[in-house]
Amino acid sequence: MKRIIISHLLIALLLWLPGSLRAEATAVADSLADNTAAGFYVGLHPGMPMSTANFSSFGADKFRPGWTAGIYGGYRLNSIWSFELTGAWGQQFMAERSCCIDKDYFLGTDGKRYKFIPEGTAGEYYNNLKSRIFVQRYGVQANMNVLGFFKATKDSPWRAEISPALYAAGTNTDILRKSDNSIFAENMSSWHLGLGVNAQASYAVSETLSVGLYAGMTHFTGKPIDSMPLLHVTNCVIDAGVKITVNLGRK
């Protein structure tokens, strides 16, 4: 009798264990998916900005890329939506476009642009000037992961996000002479409102670490970021770089 009872208990145990293990495995998998889909995160985003205003990073004489170092922190609501705060600091470099050389523009020490130079006016021709701009930028952006809309890729380690953003940016500009890098005008400061959109792709290397690339464009309102006399209506920054994200988990 005892042998019969023990054998029945062993059979019941064997029947119970696989289901229990499957349930446990499912619970663990769900927990991991939930932790990677929702929670706080922080990160770094070094990049290479390129600017266009009256002057341009795509100058008539050569290409002048800038640099930026940024940080961000945010909260991921689910596999589709996340929101983050960003801050970035760096420099941008710009010089005359080809049209400025063709028209032989001249910048007076009075800050005005001349095509026909009044007698006795001191200054420099545009083709001997360049801008060096220190930029600080603070913003908020929403990230929409388009892969999260599809069942097959909702829990994928890949993310492909479109991110509208709003920024407040401060610029401090020096205008230099190309010939000897001497200061023509300096410390011209202004603040701008920036409206932009970014696209970014990232891959989760582990549960806590993701790496990716981003690119975006931001239009700035207000004065030209290069502090040159208004000539062109463009006043934007094209930015591209790397994003390194550390997931902190749900709080």
Q: What is the pTM of this model?
A: 0.78
Q: Which of 170, 172, 165 is nearest to 72 (CA)?
A: 165
* Residue 120 CB partners (closer than 8 Å, separation 6+): none
- Structure-block tokens of residue 138: 């603070």
Q: Which of 67-81, 108-122, 128-142, 228-242 has the lowest mean pLDDT?
A: 108-122
Nearest to 92, CA basis, from 238, 221, 192, 218: 238
User: What pLDDT is attached to residue 134?
Assistant: 97
Whole-number Å distance between alpha carbons of 58 and 100: 13
Mean pLDDT of 227-233: 86
Beta pairing class for 158-177 and 129-145: antiparallel
Q: What is the pLDDT of residue 24?
A: 46
Q: Which of 218, 216, 220, 211 is nearest to 240 (CA)?
A: 216
Are 47 and 214 contacting, i.e. CB atoms less than 8 angstroms apart?
yes
Helix (H) or strand (E) run with residue 191 in it? strand 183-204
Residue 157 has, within 13 A of its CA and on its CB side, a CA count of: 11
| Cβ-proximal residues to 205 (8 Å cutoff; 6+ apart), any chain | 157, 211
Mode of pairing for the β-strands spanning 129-145 and 47-52: unpaired
Provide the token pair at 142: 């929403």
What pLDDT is recorded for position 2? Answer: 43
Q: Which residue has the tokens 């200061």?
A: 183
Going through 5-128 in order, the beta strands assigned E by DSSP cover 39-44, 47-52, 67-76, 81-95, 106-108, 113-114, 123-125
What is the percentage of the chain residues whose pLDDT exceeds 70?
84
Joined tokens for residue 193 = 């409102």
pLDDT at 18 (0 to 100):
52
Q: What is the pLDDT of residue 161?
A: 97
Q: What angle do CA 161, 247, 212 make, to 5 degrees?
A: 40
- DSSP category for residue 117: P
Which of the pair, 37 or 72, is modelled with greater confidence? 72
The number of helices, as runs of H, and strands, as runs of E, in the chain is: 2, 12
